[in-house]
Amino acid sequence: MTAVNLGLLCAELAKHGVALKPLEQTGVPLVLRWDTNITGPILGDDTLVAFPDMHLSGFSAGDIFRGTDPNALVRLTKILRAFTAARTSFPSLRFVQLGDLYDVWRAYPEYRDHPTSDYRTIEDAYGEALGLLVQTLQARVCIGNHDATLAQFPPSWARRADGRVTKQLAYGHRFGARRVLAFHGHQEDTLDRLPSQDGAFFVKLATEAAKLSNPLFQSLEQKLDLVSDYFGDTDLSLHQAFSEGWPDATAPADTQGFTASRWCKRGRRELMESLLGRLDGASELRLVFVGHSHRPGIAALQIQNRLVPIIDVGSWVWGRSQLAIATEGQLALYDIT
Amino acid sequence: MSTVSELPVLTSVFIIAAGSGLLAACAASPTVEAASHLRGIYSHYAPADGNLPASGHAGLIDPPQSWPPKVLWQDCTPGRDELKDFEQAIGGTAIACPAFQQHSVATIAEDAEDAEDEAPHKGFNLYCYPLAQVLLVVETTELLGQCKHVVGLAVFKRGPQ
């Protein structure tokens, strides 16, 4: 097996105008390295690029991908084109999107009362980027909570001429001969508390506020989203603030000035461990990728008495443009500038 | 506006455009496959010869002058949204039609499964248009951000009450 040199890949992307900036916590890059002489193979021949939550909506003021940053779509399109070009030199590149690709709640605020099977609002606004991601790069896509309706009514790109729905769209995807699992990560929220997705209330309120598009209400929506992030899953937020076990580090300051410490302490880790421990082939798991929290970080789970790193890749909302790249022996989290 | 679930249908007419000369790119419409999964709300039959039957037009009440729609491009041509042209031709906009779209997806997909060898691969979609006493179902191939190409049509007639 031949691991891709991440430095060379970054240099290749730079030729296409994309600068990957390593994400840091307290000045330390978020990088995970492992020795395959000890761990055995994990990624194998794959080089996995993981894109987290994007929340693509209708390009309205309530669209948190666009948020307050008019260049978000430019960055996304640029890096997708760069990866398209880089595949010639790096044919082992594979792509996964970790869920909440579409934000159906925001694109169709009425959808709870009228489930939609028509995603044109989102696809008309983001057609080129979506086409590059799911049709050109053939990214595997996980189903998230904001686009859970995709599981019932799959979008066009997951449908083939014979009427079947491909496995490009699934709740989770496994790579590296089943050793790597990628999924959205909200499932642990719902294990014992199904109504916890009532964060939808905040989304609805925020979307209504955003209709009054001016800086004041846009700011209000942003704050509501942060509130939703924290308190939409009440138990999670409390544990997140006070529990132990995740990297004790200050969150990287981002464009929002969001600097709450210990933001990546997902106190519901035990539920996640319980969930993953019951998966078919759980004993094979060596690495887990999730999104959902919008807060990038690296931590570890105990799954069947084995330490399994869990990578929270972050998000593409409110000006963030984060992703993870993993090759055999090394993984790094990046932001795009 | 009517929704799919509100339309009572006892009889339907299915049109396969292939062979009609109208939609040359469509060799076999997946609409047949998709619609065959429907239960309860709709039923359909496909003409044995697979061609557009003359009686198929009778399923349309007061067809617009632009009926039947003409395909302007043989395939998914970049920059062309044939669906928009189609909607202009019929003077209608699509309604949600979840009964046609419902499908289950995999829980966990394995990396070796379902490998695609065509890149970029086209997707397929269905759109529904209520027209008087019929529901028109249009099938497209799509490359997001590049083109939508109409490849299949189906007409479901409103049956007797």
Predicted-complex ipTM score: 0.75
- pLDDT attached to residue A273: 79
The shortest C-alpha distance from B133 to chain A (Å) reads: 22
CB A134 within 8 A of CB B146: no
DSSP β-bridge partners for residue B128: B95, B137
pLDDT band at B157 (very low <50, low <70, confident <90, very high): low
Nearest CA to A61 out of A295, A294, A224, A222 is that of: A222
Q: Check residue A66 and give its pLDDT.
A: 86
Query: Is there a cis peptide before residue A29, judged by omega within 30 degrees of 0?
Result: no
- Which of A76, A159, A289 is the best substitution to test chain B (most B C-beta atoms within 10 A)? A159
B103 to chain A: which residues are within 8 Å by CB? 152-154, 159, 165
pLDDT tier for residue B134 given thresholds of 50, 70 and 90 = confident
Contact B144 A135 (CB under 8 A): yes
- Measured in degrees and rounded to the nearest 5, phi and psi for residue A133 equal -70, -50
Which pairing describes strands A287-290 and A330-336: parallel, antiparallel, or unpaired? unpaired
Most confident of A59-68, A76-85, A197-206, A262-271: A76-85
CA B95 to chain A, closest CA, distance in angstroms equals 8
CA-CA distance, B79 to B62, in Å (whole number)?
Answer: 32
Does position A239 have pLDDT exceeding 50, yes or no? no
Q: How far apart, in whole angstroms, are the C-alpha atoms of residue A79 and residue A74?
A: 9
Residues 296-335 in A contacting B (C-alpha not used; CB under 8 Å) = none
**Winning range, highest mean pLDDT, from A117-121, A266-270, B143-147:** B143-147
Q: Which pLDDT does position A236 carry in this prediction?
A: 33
Are β-strands A47-51 and A322-327 bridged in parallel, bridged antiparallel, or unpaired?
A: antiparallel
A143 contacts in B (CB within 8 Å)?
105
What is residue A293's predicted lDDT score, i.e. its pLDDT?
Answer: 78
- Please report which residue ranges of chain A form alpha helices under DSSP H: 6-15, 36-39, 72-86, 104-107, 120-130, 187-190, 199-211, 215-231, 234-242, 269-277
Q: Is A335 exposed, middle or buried (0-12, 13-18, 19+ CB in 10 A)?
A: buried
For residue A115, report the phi and psi dihedrals to the nearest 5 degrees.
-55, 135
Q: Which pLDDT tens digit goes with each residue over B26-42?
A: 233 333 333 333 322 22
> Environment class of residue A77 by beta-carbon count within 10 Å: exposed (0-12), middle (13-18) or buried (19+)?
middle
Contact A127 B146 (CB under 8 A): yes
Tell which residue, A3, A32, A36, A2, has the closest CA to residue A289.
A32
